[in-house]
Structure 1
């Protein structure tokens, strides 16, 4: 979630959907590591990474939310204050793609952004490496058409395993979060007291 502490801007991004490689994408981007072992996210987890834009240092805080239905009630605690929402689906599982609209609507309801029509989303079609691409059931054309119908959401096809487009996707996510974070009022989590040191602060991405 987005808050400011000292000279560091924390920009929150939330990843949604179930068993589509969200955690692996985060680990590939932040730690340059990949594991074939699947471990379900319980509730939510997050990683941070420092990124630099225009000679300013930012800390991107990436929240990995559980995709299982029984954890959806926890969403509001993690969605509020986010600067960008990342919708991830498995290119080899049609149901995960069909769920994108539900996850998008659920996020907007629970996050309650001040300008829902213009809140930044990014869509990632992950696991394009599986079986050399022969197992995929969601075409790039279909995915791009869906993104276009939702206001030209930026779209990337990724592989958390071999790193394809992971860096490029996160650069876009970070820039969308940065733009949103500068326009929105800063969100200060109740559990962190930074009052004494805090300060004011498409089709495709302009990356």
Structure 2
């Protein structure tokens, strides 16, 4: 118990130092890029940290260890004429770290649900991870939130979850984009992360299209309505 409390204290100190440091640096640089919070979810051992490190640093560590709590890294990307700073949060998949990771779901702009193609249980748990995220991130309408599903470790010799099985699940659960990756040899890693931002942009564009037009008249007596969460509100 004492050790877990110490881990929590050190984790909070680490996050406060690096989170506010990176936000300050982002502002100091005068960057015009949009800051996006991206959360990686999935069972422990599916390769979330390896995916993040491959995407951000183009490195793969064969001696990587399980994440304790949460970690994050930043990555600058450009899509068309727009620039984005992806703040990628890698969360611990073990149940004992649930109380540490769930507070960081709030404010997320995208979520990458990750499993390993050689681990059936990790695939079966994708539904659980999605439900956990929706609850703690307080998402009212999941159809307006950009999820992406990643099947990692396609470099392994024997896979246990077929491409068709995973893609069918994604189709039945909101037509979620699905990518198969290898953090080890970098296959589709950049494509998958970039797809999350594109998914966000597409949903925002669709929401903007369905917003009702109120014409060109202005009612000066009408009180300003409070804004509610959700891109289509």
TM-score after normalising by structure 1: 0.80
1:13 aligns with 2:38: yes
In structure 2, what is the Cα distance between the partners aligned to 1:93 and 1:54? 36
In structure 1, what is the Cα distance between the partners aligned to 2:71 and 2:99? 15
1:159 aligns with 2:185: no
Q: Counterpart of 2:105?
A: 79
The CA deviation at 1:175 is 1.8
The CA deviation at 1:55 is 2.4
Count of matched residue positions in the alignment of Structure 1 and Structure 2: 180
Q: Which is richer in helix?
A: 2
1:37-70 Cα offsets, whole Å, 9 max, x none, are 1311111001111111232321011100000101
The CA deviation at 1:179 is 5.1
1:77-98 Cα offsets, whole Å, 9 max, x none, are 2100101110110100100001
The CA deviation at 1:167 is 1.4
Q: Counterpart of 1:150?
A: 173
1:53 aligns with 2:79: yes
Change (3 A) 1:179 1:79: farther
Q: Is the 8 A contact 2:118 2:161 kept in 1?
A: yes
In structure 1, what is the Cα distance between the partners aligned to 2:134 and 2:71? 20
Q: Is the 8 A contact 2:151 2:179 kept in 1?
A: yes
The CA deviation at 1:13 is 0.9
In structure 2, what is the Cα distance between the partners aligned to 1:79 and 1:168? 23
In structure 1, what is the Cα distance between the partners aligned to 2:167 and 2:192? 15
The CA deviation at 1:75 is 3.1
Tell which deviates more after alignment, 70-79 or 38-47: 70-79
User: What SS is found at the alignment partner of 1:25?
Assistant: helix
The CA deviation at 1:170 is 1.3
- Larger Rg computed on CA atoms: 2
Structure 2 residue corresponding to 1:139, chosen from 142, 146, 162: 162
Structure 1 residue corresponding to 2:56, chosen from 30, 53, 63: 30
In structure 1, what is the Cα distance between the partners aligned to 2:197 and 2:174? 19
Q: Counterpart of 1:202?
A: none
Q: Is the 8 A contact 1:13 1:63 kept in 2?
A: yes
